Structure 1
Amino acid sequence: MTTVAPALLGDVSTLLDGAVGPLGYPLVFVLAMVPFIEPFVVIPVAIGLGFDPLLTGVAAFAGSVTAVVAIVAAQERLLAWWARRSAGDDGADDSGTVAPDVDAADEASLDVNVDDAADDEASGRYARARRVGERYGLVGLALGGPPLVGLHLMAVVGAAIGPTRRVTVGWLTAGLAVWTVLLVVGSVAGFAAVESVAGR
């Protein structure tokens, strides 16, 4: 991961530096949705390149919320599809294949399989997201999830533990708003401090 971060920063910087005028803000919107880039990379890079901090924050926030809403909606639809499919009289779907029964023992074995794969970085991040969600609930996940596990895993776990889609999206959006403001203010203050030291 340490070798990926400088490469990502360079790639994001190159992409944003090549954007002309107001066309850079839609690019900030899109880059805020990309895993491993997200607002934590795109906001400081864009502000460092001279983008307007307010417009950068709004574009990154909108991109992040769009990704979260899409993930929560997709997960909800997938679970609804699975429930319809496995609720059939004989367990057969439209193609005539038999859907597997998922009971508590199967769910437990699925959890074990995820935990056994913790060597993989993505599985480790997922396990961390689950622990944050289980320990601190949806509110704790919304506030601590973005920097700890990223917004994509935060949305997946949030959709799993949240009571409804509206409540889940509401809390996750509030957490993203807090982090967006912190990133914009921190980036502006950090670059101002560097300029004042360099100007001496």
Structure 2
Amino acid sequence: MITYLFVFLAGAAPGFEVLVAVPLGILRGMSIATAVVVGFAGNALTIILEIMVFQKLKTWWESKKKTDGKTPSKRTARAEKIWKRFGIPGLALLGPVLIGSHLAAFLALALGSSKSQTAFWLLLSLAIWSIVFGTLTVFGVDAFFWTRQKIG
């Protein structure tokens, strides 16, 4: 039960998300399907909450930008470049691995995407990345154990 909670919370945490949560779940003994579902659920929940409270986050972000006086971060600049080139599908599909899904969701909304489009594309992206990272982890762990057995 602790592993499920750990994977769920890792999925929900910016910076960890499904890219870390799913492999951690598998490495902690979860089946690939369970790790994918639990990691996805944690990440999806925070994305949905972020979309729901977007206007308050946007107001905070804009006030922070005014007081900082800094130029946009590299991650923000990268997200805006992806947005201009590929729109919401590109930002949602590339965002989780390049800038993080939470920042991708926020920026998609800030750059004009609707809440429903943002939710659809980001949840689709998270599902895809959950499966990809779960599969890669399984193959990586199997390759590690196979190599270890061959050597030892």
Q: TM-score band (shorter)? A: 0.7 to 0.9
Which of the residues 71, 86, 96 maps onto 1:146?
96
* Equivalent residue number for residue 13 of structure 1: none
Letter matched to residue 19 of structure 2: F
Match status 1:155 vs 2:105: yes
Larger RCO (CA under 8 A, 6+ residues apart): 2
- SS at structure 2 position matched to 1:36: coil
Structure 1 position 130 matched with structure 2 position 80? yes
- 2:18 touches 2:126 (CA, 8 Å); kept in 1? no
Identity of aligned residues (%): 30
The answer to whether the 8 Å contact 2:23/2:35 transfers is: no
Structure 1 consecutive aligned stretches of length 4 or more whose deviation exceeds 6 Å? none
Q: Which runs of 5+ in 2 are unaligned?
A: 60-64
Q: Partners of 2:112 and 2:12 in 1: how far apart?
A: 21
Q: Per-residue displacement from partner, 1:99-118 (whole Å, max 9, x unpaired)?
A: xxxxxxxxxx96xx45x2x5
Change (3 A) 1:78 1:153: closer
Q: Which residue of structure 1 aligns with residue 114 of structure 2?
A: 164
Deviations 1:27-70, CA, capped at 9 Å, x for gaps:
21111111222121222222122222211110110111111111
Aligned length: 144
- 1:189/1:69 CA distance change after superposition, 3 Å: same
Distance 1:174 1:46 in 2: 20
Structure 1 position 77, deviation (Å): 5.1
Structure 1 residues 78 and 150, CA gap change in structure 2 (3 angstroms): closer
Q: Can you list the C-alpha shifts for 1:126-177, whole angstroms capped at 9, x where unaligned?
A: 2211221122100001111100001111111121235421121011111111
SS in structure 2 of the partner of residue 32 of structure 1: helix
Name which one, 1 or 2, has greater alpha-carbon Rg: 1
CA distance in 1, matches of 2:148, 2:29: 17
Q: Residue 193 in 1 paired to residue 148 in 2?
A: no
Distance between the aligned counterparts of 1:61 and 1:153, measured in 2? Answer: 17
> What TM-score, normalized to structure 2?
0.84
**Structure 1 stretches lacking a partner, 5+ long:** 1-21, 83-108
Report 1:24-35 matches (<5 A).
24-35=3-14
Hey, which of these two has a bigger chunk of helix by percent? Answer: 2
Match of 1:178 in 2: 128
